[in-house]
């Protein structure tokens, strides 16, 4: 993995002439975890697609760039809300899918090592139908790690999991993505309170920073300062337009 850059996105976006968000600025410090929280429909996922270079349907007036001046293309991995596993492939071949599509077929040993790291070493030869929802998301995380990119974009990847599996995935992702620049779109105030080195609240008025507790991440879900911050974020969400 190359050195993780800081990111900046600044500008406004429309789709088919319809405004998605007005002029705003998002700054993501290098090597840190940024949670982008906000109500539905304000353009969080659109912003993520613009950073990832996959927002072809979006008319964007502004900049989306890394602070080192190098192109973002080829330095970003995306983990989506769905696991997007191919049902006819086993876990190993799902993890190596991106590499194989790029013509690199000799990475099965690394894929197995990554599946071991996410706790699925004994399930490497299973297809998705034989895995639980939490296990499937672990395969998706291993596939993200396989890409070995310094910037990782997360679009609500844990939202479909039950509370226990979601907390486990938060802990695992925080450990394995440490040192990368992570921009994480979430609707979950508790998740943002646990994971964010920086927490940004996006509303139709723009983006504001909300200072999280000055404690290591992932923060204990039952710590008083975590719960207090979660409550404050939830109040802000309830008031958001």
- Domain coordinates in residue numbering, the chain: 7-239
User: How many residues can be counted in the chain?
Assistant: 241
Higher-pLDDT residue of 99, 234? 234
- 77: tokens are 């991995």
pLDDT at 15: 92
pLDDT at 98: 82
Predicted confidence (pLDDT) per residue in 165-205, tens digit:
889 889 999 999 999 999 999 999 999 999 999 999 999 88
With 90 as the cut, is the pLDDT of residue 153 above it? Answer: yes
With 70 as the cut, is the pLDDT of residue 1 above it? Answer: no
pLDDT at 92: 94
The CATH number of domain 7-239 is 2.60.40.1120: no
| Separation between Cα atoms, residue 89 and residue 127, nearest integer Å | 6
With 70 as the cut, is the pLDDT of residue 130 above it? Answer: yes
| Separation between Cα atoms, residue 64 and residue 39, nearest integer Å | 22
Whole-number percent of the chain with pLDDT over 90: 73
Predicted confidence (pLDDT) per residue in 4-40, tens digit:
999 999 999 999 989 999 999 999 999 999 999 998 8
Higher-pLDDT residue of 155, 98? 155
Phi, psi of 34 (to 5 degrees): -110, 120
Report the candidate in 114, 186, 195, 181 with the shortest Cα–Cα distance to residue 147.
114
On average, the pLDDT of the chain sits at 91
pLDDT at 80: 86
pLDDT at 106: 63
With 90 as the cut, is the pLDDT of residue 60 above it? Answer: yes
Tell me the CB-side half-sphere exposure of residue 38, using CA atoms within 13 A.
24
pLDDT confidence bin for 162, thresholds 50/70/90? confident
With 70 as the cut, is the pLDDT of residue 217 above it? Answer: yes
Tell me the CB-side half-sphere exposure of residue 208, using CA atoms within 13 A.
9
Higher-pLDDT residue of 210, 160? 210
Predicted confidence (pLDDT) per residue in 108-127, tens digit:
888 999 999 899 999 999 99
pLDDT confidence bin for 54, thresholds 50/70/90? confident
């Amino acid at each position: 993995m190359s050195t993780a850059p800081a990111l900046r996105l600044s500008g406004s976006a429309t789709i088919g002439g319809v405004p998605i968000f007005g002029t705003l600025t998002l700054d993501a410090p290098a090597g840190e975890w940024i949670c982008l929280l906000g109500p539905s429909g304000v353009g969080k996922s659109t912003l993520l697609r613009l950073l990832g270079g996959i927002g072809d349907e979006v008319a964007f007036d502004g900049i989306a760039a890394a602070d080192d001046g190098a192109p973002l293309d080829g330095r970003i991995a995306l983990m989506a809300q769905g696991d997007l596993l191919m049902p006819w492939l086993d876990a190993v071949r799902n993890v190596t899918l991106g590499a194989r599509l790029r013509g690199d077929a000799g990475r099965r040993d690394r894929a197995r090592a990554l599946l071991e790291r996410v706790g699925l070493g004994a399930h490497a030869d299973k297809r998705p139908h034989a895995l639980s929802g939490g296990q499937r998301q672990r395969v998706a995380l291993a596939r993200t790690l396989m890409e070995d990119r310094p910037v990782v974009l997360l679009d609500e990847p844990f939202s479909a999991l039950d509370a226990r599996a979601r907390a486990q995935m938060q802990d695992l992702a925080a450990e394995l993505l440490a040192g990368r620049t992570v921009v994480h779109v979430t609707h979950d105030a508790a998740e943002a309170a646990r994971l964010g080195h920086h927490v940004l609240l996006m509303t139709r008025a723009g983006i504001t920073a909300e200072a999280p507790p000055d404690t290591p991440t992932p923060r204990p879900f039952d710590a008083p300062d975590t719960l207090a911050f979660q409550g404050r974020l939830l109040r802000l969400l309830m008031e958001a337009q």
